[in-house]
Structure 1
Amino acid sequence: MTGVLEVEAVSAGYGPVPVLRDVTFAVPAGTIAAVLGANGAGKTTLLRTLSGLLRPTGGRVRFDGADLRGVRVERLVRRGLAHVPEGRGVVAELTVEENLRLGGLWRGDRADARRAQDEVYELFPALARRRRHAGHQLSGGERQMLALGRALIARPRLLLLDEPSLGLAPKVTAQIMALLRRLCDERGLTVLLVEQNVRSALSVADQGVVMSLGRVVTAAPAARLRDDDQLRHAYLGF
């Protein structure tokens, strides 16, 4: 098993309650892996474990070949891992520009931080137009763009993204999915995407990781999952 991200027999939970059980898969560089499954399958817990917010009770996680056990969250960010949790996480009282600055606070080079911010404005022209607006003044789609842009300020190599389409119009969802595909193809970004909109996720993903009750049912190319009627009906709801 090789990849930018390697998850090997990982188990995790909350207190005595197990959620993940022997989860194993790998994500190659420059690809999108969609983590799919019903509510309660363990998808969000998986992202929290990979980003260091939740300590695994078993197994191993490697990022660029390095074992992540015991690595603090801020060090993971410096190594090139970014996590956008469900709910967008925008600071409502701060402007777009101030929110973006939060993503680059750890950078010692102010000029580079500014260049990174300009890159985000190029990716999201809507944010450039509303840079002086507070987070609470943005639409749902703009808030999702801001949350994603703040993560991209750090120029991550691996992006963990939890339910980016939640509550968004189909057109905005399609724009965000297309952007993720472009970032992978043009910049070599690697994405682990948790998404309830299965059709949308599989339309841009290279592989799908299907979970049920905390276990991986299958990890296969996205095209194969789209064509597997039995698996889709059993676990993906379409």
Structure 2
Amino acid sequence: MSELLRVEGLTAGYGAAPVLREVDLTVPAGTIAAVLGANGAGKTTLLRTLSGLVRPSAGRVLLDGRPLTGVAVEKLVHLGMAHVPEGRGVVAELTVEENLRLGGLWRRDRADANKALAEVYELFEPLAKRRRSAGHQLSGGERQMLALGRALVARPRLLLLDEPSLGLAPKVTAQIMALLRQLRDRTGLTVLLVEQNVRSALSVADTGVVLALGKVVVATSADRLRDDEELRHAYLGF
């Protein structure tokens, strides 16, 4: 299985104090990697650094072997990386369709952009029914679908997904996780998933990375994290 994402010695933070400390990890293409850990462990900072929103003070990030240090945020989308931040950020005043089209504005192949839009509506039937509704009229689950759909319209190879279950009902969370598995299996999408709901994350992930105080303390298969009682008690609290 080929490697899509490699992180080597990544150190980053806000101001003088680092949040991430010499983080190493790899994510094979076509897999889901769950990033787990307590609040303040550095999970969101990791995604923000990978997507160019936080500048690292040391280390490097490679996407399919290409170094990303210094690459502009908008260029990362062209290279195949999409980031869905925590909070289901959508443009509240725009309609569902307008929000989705924002995800593909940079693409020159309009026919394929329209095809990608149709695929998102097929994946998310509630959005298809509400394509003329404004973002502020959607439920929390629908807004999460919209945020995901907007990222998928760009046809990413690597999806960075931060806390998709936050504030959602268990049924909706299960639907989101099932969709991630479906995208991995059907399209080969690679996902780096930050998630507080450990059980949900491990139910769909292939590998798990546990952060503590900005460092990787465990990197192993999701099955081992789920089944090893000692590891779970030590790092995941259940």
For the criterion TM > 0.5, the same-fold answer is yes
Aligned partner of 2:180: which letter?
L
Cα distance in 2 for residues equivalent to 1:171 and 1:16 = 42
- 2:159 matched to 1:159? yes
- Deviations, residues 17-55 of structure 1 (Å, cap 9, x unaligned): 110001001000000000000000000000000001111
How many residues are treated as equivalent by the alignment? 237
- 2:226 matched to 1:217? no
2:108 matched to which residue of 1?
108
Cα distance in 2 for residues equivalent to 1:42 and 1:159 = 18
Cα distance in 2 for residues equivalent to 1:233 and 1:95 = 45
**Range 27-36 or range 225-234, more displaced:** 225-234
Aligned partner of 2:15: which letter?
G
Match of 1:4, SS? strand
2:68 matched to which residue of 1?
68
Aligned partner of 2:35: which letter?
V
Aligned partner of 1:173: which letter?
T
Q: How big is the shift at 1:231?
A: 1.8
- Structure 1 segment 135-146 matched on structure 2, within 5 A: 135-146=135-146
TM-score, normalised by the number of residues in structure 2: 0.98
Q: Alignment identity in percent?
A: 79
Cα distance in 1 for residues equivalent to 2:111 and 2:33 = 33
Q: How big is the shift at 1:62?
A: 0.4
Cα distance in 1 for residues equivalent to 2:14 and 2:28 = 29
Q: How big is the shift at 1:234?
A: 2.1
- 2:25 matched to 1:25? yes
- 2:184 matched to 1:189? no
1:150 matched to which residue of 2?
150
TM-score, normalised by the number of residues in structure 1: 0.98
Cα distance in 2 for residues equivalent to 1:225 and 1:150 = 31
Q: How big is the shift at 1:107?
A: 1.1
Cα distance in 1 for residues equivalent to 2:227 and 2:215 = 22
Cα distance in 1 for residues equivalent to 2:222 and 2:184 = 16
Cα distance in 2 for residues equivalent to 1:77 and 1:113 = 14
The alignment yields a C-alpha RMSD, in angstroms, of 0.8
Query: Runs of 5+ in structure 2 lacking a partner?
Result: none
- Structure 1 segment 35-46 matched on structure 2, within 5 A: 35-46=35-46
Cα distance in 2 for residues equivalent to 1:195 and 1:206 = 14
Match of 2:3, SS? coil
Divergent runs of 4+, >4 A = none
1:234 matched to which residue of 2?
234
Q: How big is the shift at 1:109?
A: 2.2
- Deviations, residues 83-132 of structure 1 (Å, cap 9, x unaligned): 00000111111110010011011012222211111110011011000000
Cα distance in 2 for residues equivalent to 1:180 and 1:194 = 13
Cα distance in 2 for residues equivalent to 1:28 and 1:110 = 30
